[in-house]
Amino acid sequence: MVSGALQPPNEIERQHLSSADLAKGFRLICQARSSGGEVVVHSLPEASDFGILTEGCGDLQVGDSNLHIWRVQVPQALPESRSEWERLEAADNGVLMDQSPPLSLLRMIPEALSSDPRELEVVSFADRVIRVRPAEQGSLGYYGIACDIGTTTLVAYLVDLRSGKVLGAIPRANPQAAHGADVMSRIDAASTKEGLQLLHSSIITAIEEMAATLAASNALTPNDIAVIGVVGNTCMHHLFLGLSPIRLGQAPYLPVHRGESFTRGATLGMDVFAETLLWSAPLIGGFVGSDAVAAAVAGQLLKDDKPRLLVDLGTNGEVLLSARGRILACSAAAGPAFEGVQILYGMRAEPGAIDEVRLHPEGVDLHVLGDEPARGICGSGLLDLVAELVRLQVIDETGRLRPPEEIASSGLPGLAAHVIETDEQIVFRLTDSPQIIDFTQKDVRQVQLAKAAIRAAIDICCVYAEVSPDDLDEVLLAGAFGTYIRKESALRIGLLPSVPLPRIRSLGNAAGAGAVLALTSESARMAFIELAQKAEHIDLGSELAFQERFVEAMLF
C-alpha cells in the first residue's frame, strides 16, 4: 500500500485492481508514478499462524519401525580387510554389504573406532545407515521431524521414532507465498536458476528453523534429530529438492522424479541439520503429490473395497477415489479463494476473521474469530455466506447477486437492506461497523471457479471409476479448510456430491498424520510406495469432459 504524492492510477492499474483496492491505497509498484512529492510505502502485516491446522496427528501405533539400532564389536584386524569400513561390514555380518557409504557416514568412522573396546552403535533408517558412534558414549535421541509443505502453509511435527508419540507441532506461513499464491505462480518464479535457488532456499530455511525450534522447545539438540521427512504437492516437492518445476507447467505436466528420495541436509543447503537424513515421500503424478498419498494412507482410503472419496480442499485441490480395486487421482487448480485470497475483504483464519455466517429474513448473524472486531472473512465464513445467499435466493443459480428491489419483493426486506447497488456493481454488505466488509459479484465468481474446479474433478473421477456419487460410502475431507467448513454449506453450493451428512468425515491435517506414520512405520512407508505406484493419474487438462463438467459445476 502506498500514500503521498502519486499520479492517478493508469489504465493498467485500473484493469488489475478494483476500485475498492485503489480506494484503500493499493497500487502496482511497477506502474505507480510520483508527482514530485513524498511517497510512503506501507508494508502489509505478515501472515499469521493463527488457524493453521496442526490437529489430526495424535499418538500413533507403531508396529514395524523404520529405525533400527544395534551394537557391533569391531575387531582390531582382519586378514583380508583393507579399510575400516570393510571391518565394520564384516563385524556386522554383511548387513552393510549392499551399501555405498555416503561421505558424511565415512567421516564418523575414525572417531567411532578410536576407542577400545571397539564397540559401536549403528543406527539405520529405511535400511540406510545414518549413524556410527562409540557405544560407550551412550545413545543419542531418536527423533524425527515430519513436515507437510503446503502451497500456503507449513506444519512440522516432532515425533519419537520409537514410540510414534508426537511431542510437538509448529505451523507457519509458506515464505514462498511472496512469489505467488498458487503453484503456477511458483513455477513461473522458479523458471530461472536464480528464481529456483531463491524459492528452494526459502523453504529449506523455513523447515530448518521449524525443526530447530521444535528440538529446542523439547530440550533436544540437532544431533537428536535422526531424520526429517516431507510431504507436499508436486511443485512443493520439486522446490524442496531444488528440482526445476518448469516441466510441470507444460504439457504433459511430468515431474522430474516421483519416487521416494533420500539425501543429507547439507546436500539441500541445511546448516544446523547438515548431517540429518532427509526423506521425501513418493508422488502420484502431475500435480497430485505426496501430500495426497499421505492423506490417503492416514485416512485409510483403501481399508476395504467400498467406493471412498478423498478431497483435499487446498489451493492445489487434490482428489482421490478408491473403488473396485482401482485408485483414480487428479488435481484441480482451485486457486486460493478458499484461503481468503483474491476476495475483496478475504483474509486468513486469524483474529478478526468472520468464520461463520447465518442469514435470516431480518438480517445477518456473524461469528468472528478471536473476540475481535471483524476485519474480513476467511474461507469457512465465505462458504457459509455463499450457501446462505443461495438458500435465501439472494444470488440465483448462475451466481448473480439480485438487486435490492428483487430481494425486498421476495419478502426479505431485512436482507435487501444489506444489498448495496452502486454504479459499478452490486455488493452484499456483511457489516459496516467498525468497518465496511462487502461481498462483491467478483467474489461470488471466485468462489464459483474454485468450487467448480473441485466438483468437476470429483465428477470425472467418478466417471472413470464407473461410480455414481450417490454410491460413495464415505467422503473424506483433508486439510484445514476441509476441517473447519460446515458440511451443510459445502453440500448446498454443490462443492461435494449429495451424500448423507454422516458419510462426510473430516480428517484434520491428514497429510501431516500420514507423514508421521511413514517416519515411524515401515509398513506405512511401504503403503506410500504401493499407493503412489498403483494410482491412475487423470490429466484434467487433456480431458475433454472436464470443461463440460466445469461449466455445469459453476451453477448453484
DSSP per residue, 256-320: S--S-EEEEGGGGT-STTTTSEEEE----BTTB-HHHHHHHHHTTTTSSSS-EEEEE-SSEEEEE
Calculate the alpha carbon distances from 440 to 31, 107, 186, 343 in Å.
26, 62, 28, 8
pLDDT-derived band at 538, boundaries 50, 70, 90: very high
Of the listed ranges 127-136, 188-197, 438-447, 502-511, the one predicted with least confidence: 127-136
Three-state SS at 482: helix
Of the listed ranges 44-58, 170-184, 326-340, 401-415, the one predicted with least confidence: 44-58
Q: How far apart are CA 401 and CA 390, in angstroms?
A: 10
pLDDT-derived band at 544, boundaries 50, 70, 90: confident
Asked if the model's pLDDT at residue 164 lies above 90, the reply is no
Q: What percentage of the chain's residues is helix, strand, coil (to nearest 5)?
A: 35, 25, 40
The C-alpha cell of 198 is what? Answer: 531463491
Q: What percent of the chain has pLDDT over 90?
A: 57
DSSP state, 393? T
Q: What is the mean pLDDT of residues 58-85?
A: 69
pLDDT-derived band at 249, boundaries 50, 70, 90: confident
The C-alpha cell of 224 is what? Answer: 537428536
* Phi, psi (deg, nearest 5) at residue 326: -110, 155
Q: What is the mean pLDDT of residues 70-82?
A: 70
E strand spans, 24-93 = 34-41, 67-73
Q: At residue 155, what is the residue type?
A: V
Give the highest mean pLDDT range of 36-40, 118-122, 325-329.
325-329
* pTM for the whole structure: 0.81
Which residues of the chain does CATH 3.10.20 include? Answer: 67-137
The C-alpha cell of 92 is what? Answer: 556386522
pLDDT-derived band at 77, boundaries 50, 70, 90: low
Q: How far apart are CA 472 and CA 491, in angstroms?
A: 14
Look at domain 67-137 and name its CATH class. alpha beta
- pLDDT recorded at residue 119: 76
The C-alpha cell of 500 is what? Answer: 448423507
Of the listed ranges 24-28, 198-202, 379-383, the one predicted with least confidence: 24-28
Burial class (CB in 10 A: 0-12, 13-18, 19+), 308: buried
Q: What is the mean pLDDT of residues 511-534?
A: 93
Q: Burial letters for 383-408: b for 16+ Cβ neighbours within 10 Å, e otherwise?
A: bbbbbbbbeeebbeeebebbebeebb
pLDDT per position as a tens digit, 372-396? 899 999 999 999 999 999 999 999 9
Q: How far apart are CA 313 and CA 327, in angstroms?
A: 19
Q: How far apart are CA 149 and CA 231, in angstroms?
A: 6
pLDDT-derived band at 24, boundaries 50, 70, 90: low
More confident residue, 4 or 263: 263
